């Protein structure tokens, strides 16, 4: 057997796969694990359509080898919704029409989540800088930035409500 055997965690589930040593994590996710949310735009780390998190760190999955994720934690856009309940970012992308063709959307969602996990109250400039690694050729970005800002508000409200419930 010439492949590499890898045990890892994807969206909280234990996953095993065998892949050639030179295969990208993006190809593993799409072709071996059936997770086609991450897209190949450029394949060279310029467009961000393949964004996932690796041990919580935002990365381009086209620039990670599948073999590298042994024992790590991978999170993709497929892990964002809870069952049928969309993540606030996903809801706000829909409400704000922050997508047209949709190829870049999973990458934007993952990158925006990584931003809000670290900075729950970003300024517009911070949102634009944080999403600079994601290219969109349809929207002109404004609607995406507005959707992220609105989702950040939703998440802050949710966090406040949870805190209040806890104190009761």
Partner 1 sequence: MTQVNYKAPTTTKEASRLMAKAKGSAFLLAGGTDLLVRMKSGLIDPDLIVDIKRIPATQSIKKNDGKYVIGAGVPCVALGKNKGLVKAWPGVVEAANLIGSDQIQGRCTMVGNLCNASPAADSVPALVAARAKAVIVGPKGRRTIPVEKVVTGPGTTSLKKGEVIESIKLPERGARSADAYLRFIPRTEMDIAVCSAGVNLTLGAKGIIKQARVALGAVAPTVILVPAAARALVGKQLDDAVLAKVAAACEIACAPIDDKRGTVEFRTEVAGVLARRAATIAYQRAGGKL
Binding site for partner 1 (CB under 8 A): 2, 4, 20-22, 24, 43-45, 48, 51, 54, 57-60, 62-65, 67-68, 70, 111, 114-115, 129-130, 132-134
* Shortest CB 29 distance to partner 1, Å: 15
Burial class (CB in 10 A: 0-12, 13-18, 19+), 4: middle
Nearer to partner 1, 86 or 141 (CB): 141
- State how far Cα 93 lies from the chain centre: 13
Q: Token pair 């989540």 is at which residue?
A: 113
Instruction: For the CB of residue 143, give the shortest distance to partner 1 in the complex, in Å.
Output: 20
- CB-CB contact of 99 with 139 (8 Å): yes
Residue number, 140 or 160, with CB nearest to partner 1: 140
Decide whether 45 or 91 has the Cβ nearer to partner 1: 45
Gap between the Cα atoms of 68 and 61, Å rounded: 11
């Amino acid at each position: 057997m010439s492949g590499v055997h890898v045990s890892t965690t994807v969206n909280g589930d234990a996953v095993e796969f065998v892949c050639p040593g030179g295969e990208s994590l993006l190809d593993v996710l799409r072709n071996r694990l059936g997770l086609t949310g991450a897209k190949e735009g450029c394949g060279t780390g310029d467009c961000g359509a393949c964004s996932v998190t690796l041990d919580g760190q935002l990365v381009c999955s086209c620039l990670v080898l599948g073999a590298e994720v042994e024992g790590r934690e991978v999170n993709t856009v497929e892990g964002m919704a809870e069952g049928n309940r969309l993540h606030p970012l996903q809801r706000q992308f829909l409400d704000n029409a922050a997508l047209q063709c949709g190829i870049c959307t999973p990458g934007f969602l993952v990158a925006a989540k990584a931003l809000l996990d670290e900075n729950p109250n970003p300024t517009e400039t911070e949102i634009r800088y944080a999403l600079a690694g994601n290219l969109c050729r349809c929207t002109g970005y404004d609607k995406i930035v507005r959707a992220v800002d609105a989702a950040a508000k939703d998440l802050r409200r949710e966090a406040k409500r949870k805190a209040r419930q806890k104190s009761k």
